[in-house]
Amino acid sequence: MNKRRLGKSDLYVSELGLGAMSLGTDKAKATEIIEAALSLGVNYVDTADLYDYGENEEIIGAAIKGKRDQLVIASKAGNRFTKGKEGWEWDPSKKHIKQALKDSLKRLQLDYIDLYQLHGGTIDDPIDETIEAFDELKQDGLIREYGISSIRPNVIKAFAERSNIVSVMMQYSILDRRPEEYFPFLKEQNISVVARGPVAKGILSDKPISATKADKEGYLSYSAKELKQIRDLFMQNYGSDHTNVELALQYCLAHQPVAAVVTGASSIDQLKQNIQAVEKGTLSDQEVENIARISKQETYEQHRF
């Protein structure tokens, strides 16, 4: 699988990343999916300390033993929780982030994390203190690079201009094109985008739309009727050449500065489908333009620059 560079770092990630949140707590099944992903060319695994209150990291740590040199491991911090208790609190303080990193390293059974990300954030946070924490962790060799996971433009801008982030994880898909407004800025800053949610909660997958909640609830500003119309247009225009998943993943990857699309996988079949969709090739410029014409180009209404 092709690999792309994260920002100006030395990290090269597979165009498809494995989003670990969907792995669940069945260790045998999760391990099977992780091992299959690695054998099929995926080198990028994305987790977070909050997923299953640390259990997700523990499962990954056990599954990747002996394979460390093949992997780019990403995790996240900022949500303070106590295992065994429901709920969590937002805490972007230096003290918490440093402790969270130690806890994640222990669960993952690693000496360092490749990409450590702030798991959210607001413009009212002590941003300079947060940045200082990540910079010190990098200086200490406990992380190789850091980034943020956020869809708030003002937060992204603050970190882009005041820190050494190499990536921003953002919800991005054909049905949520709001991030595109800020792609030129991120490209100028040499910061990569990692796209999460590229199949929009399954709406852009190849299963019937009736099998998704969107069939009744819609998605973002799209009504259920509009979503069905888009799916029909995809079938009419591209059905003979592309699956919906291919369109969804390749559309995201066709845009700079996107480095990778991160998808979950609850089965090996689903994993293989996503990998095949990425490896099949790229959409033509005309296909990308046509897909953009079919979908909405909206912008974030809040937390703007």
Q: Which residues are catalytic?
A: 51
Distance CA 15, CA 24 (A): 23
Structure tokens at 74: 């990403």
Q: Which distant-in-sequence residues (6+ apart) come within 8 Å of 7 by Cβ? A: 145, 147, 165, 166, 167, 190, 191, 192, 259
Taking the C-alpha atoms of residue 226 and residue 215, their distance in angstroms, rounded to an integer, is 10
Tokens coding 85: 């208790």
Are 104 and 75 in contact, with CB atoms under 8 Å apart? Answer: yes
Question: Distance between CA atoms of 85 and 108, rounded to whole angstroms?
Answer: 21
Tokens for 216?
């009744």
Q: Which helix (H) or strand (E) holds 302?
A: none
Nearest to 181 by CA among 147, 198, 157: 157
Rounded Cα gap, residues 68 and 199, in angstroms = 29
Determine the residue type at 201.
K
Rounded CA separation 238/216 (Å): 25
**Does residue 250 contact residue 283 with C-beta atoms inside 8 Å?**
yes
Q: Are 143 and 114 in contact (CB under 8 A)?
A: yes
What tokens appear for 204 in the block?
């852009």
What is each CA distance from 89 to 79, 147, 213, in whole angstroms?
A: 6, 20, 29
Give me the residue label for tokens 């165009």. 15
d(CA 162, CA 137): 17
